[in-house]
C-alpha cells in the first residue's frame, strides 16, 4: 500500500482549496417603511444594524462587500446598483455578479444577507455552501431569499431574460436559478428590521 501511495501522483499534490467565500451585505433599499431613515443606521442595543450584521457575517467570510452606495465608515468595497436591468433587490444581485466576476472570479459565486438582518445564523455560509449550488435560507415561517448563495454561472444564464423584465422578485430569481431551500428548524435567525415595530421586536429578541 505504501508503494502504491508513493506511485500515486496525486499523493503529493496540495489539498484543493475551497472557493473564496464572498459575502455581500444588501444595503441598497429605500427604507420607506422606516420613514425614509436608513435602516443600516438604526440602533439596536446601542449598535447600528449594519454593525450587528457585519459582526455576524464577518467571521464567515473571506471577503466582505456592501451592495449599495455607502460603506458606513467600514472601509469595505461598495457595489452600487447598475442602471441596466430590473430594479429592486435583484439589481443588487446582478451588480454583485459582475463585481465578483471582475474582482473575485475564483469565488464562483457569493453569499448575501440583508443589512437589516441582525441575527444571521453562525453557520449561514457553511450550510448554504453545502447545497452545492444556488441556495436560499428557510425556516418554519417560510423562505428568506435575501439570505442566499448565488452562483455566477446561474446568474449568467438568468440575465438574458431578466435584463428586460420591468420587475423581478428575489424569490422569482432564485427559482429561475434553481436555488434549493436550506432549512433552519429554529425561528428568529432571519428576522428583518423593516419598521420601527420590527426594531422593537428585535430588541426583545436580544433579551
Q: Which of 96-100, 128-132, 165-169, 182-186 has the lowest mean pLDDT?
A: 165-169
4, part of any domain = no
- Residue 155 is assigned to a ligand binding site: no
Query: Could you tell me whether strands 22-26 and 63-67 are parallel, antiparallel, or unpaired per DSSP bridges?
Result: parallel
Count of structural domains within the chain: 1
- Residue 191 is assigned to a ligand binding site: no
- To the question of pTM greater than 0.85 for the whole model, the response is yes
- Tens digit of each residue's pLDDT (9 = 90 or more) over 47-68: 999 999 999 999 999 999 999 9
Instruction: Kindly give the interhelix angle for 152-162 and 89-103, rounded to the nearest 10 degrees.
Output: 130
- Tens digit of each residue's pLDDT (9 = 90 or more) over 67-97: 999 999 999 999 998 878 788 889 999 999 9
9, part of any domain = no
11, part of any domain = no
- Residue 198 is assigned to a ligand binding site: no
- Residue 68 is assigned to a ligand binding site: no
- Residue 28 is assigned to a ligand binding site: yes
* Burial 25-43, CB ≥16 within 10 A → b, else e: bbbbbebeebeeebbbebe
28, part of any domain = yes
Q: Find the domain containing 178 and state its range.
A: 19-206
**Greater model confidence, 196 or 35:** 196
31, part of any domain = yes
- Calculate what percentage of the chain has a pLDDT beyond 70: 87
3, part of any domain = no
Q: Alpha-carbon Rg of the chain, whole angstroms?
A: 19
What cell numbers appear for 43 in the block?
Answer: 440602533
For the domain that residue 174 is a member of, what is the CATH number?
Answer: 3.90.550.10
> What is the pLDDT confidence band of residue 9, given thresholds at 50, 70 and 90?
very low
Q: What are phi and psi of 150, to 5 degrees?
A: -115, 130
Three-state SS for 80? Answer: coil
2, part of any domain = no
- The partner residues of 138 in beta bridges, in order of sequence, read 143, 183
Nearest-5° Cα angle at 15, 10 to 153: 105
Amino acid at each position: 500500500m505504501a508503494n502504491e501511495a508513493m506511485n500515486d501522483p496525486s499523493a503529493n499534490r496540495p489539498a484543493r482549496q475551497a472557493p473564496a467565500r464572498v459575502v455581500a451585505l444588501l444595503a441598497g433599499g429605500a427604507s420607506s417603511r422606516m420613514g425614509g431613515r436608513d435602516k443600516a443606521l438604526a440602533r439596536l442595543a446601542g449598535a447600528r444594524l449594519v454593525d450587528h450584521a457585519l459582526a455576524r457575517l464577518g467571521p464567515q467570510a473571506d471577503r466582505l462587500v456592501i451592495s449599495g452606495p455607502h460603506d458606513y465608515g467600514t472601509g469595505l468595497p461598495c457595489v452600487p446598483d447598475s442602471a441596466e436591468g430590473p430594479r429592486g433587490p435583484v439589481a443588487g444581485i446582478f451588480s454583485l455578479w459582475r463585481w465578483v466576476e471582475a474582482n473575485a472570479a475564483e469565488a464562483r459565486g457569493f453569499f448575501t444577507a440583508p443589512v437589516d438582518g441582525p441575527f444571521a445564523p453562525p453557520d449561514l455560509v457553511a450550510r448554504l455552501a453545502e447545497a452545492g449550488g444556488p441556495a436560499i435560507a428557510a425556516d418554519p415561517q417560510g423562505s428568506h431569499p435575501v439570505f442566499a448563495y448565488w452562483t455566477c454561472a446561474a446568474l449568467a444564464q438568468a440575465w438574458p431574460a431578466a435584463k428586460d423584465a420591468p420587475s423581478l422578485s428575489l424569490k422569482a430569481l432564485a427559482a429561475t436559478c434553481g436555488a434549493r431551500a436550506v432549512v433552519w428548524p429554529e425561528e428568529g435567525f432571519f428576522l428583518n428590521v423593516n419598521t420601527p415595530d420590527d426594531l422593537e421586536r428585535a430588541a426583545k429578541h436580544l433579551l
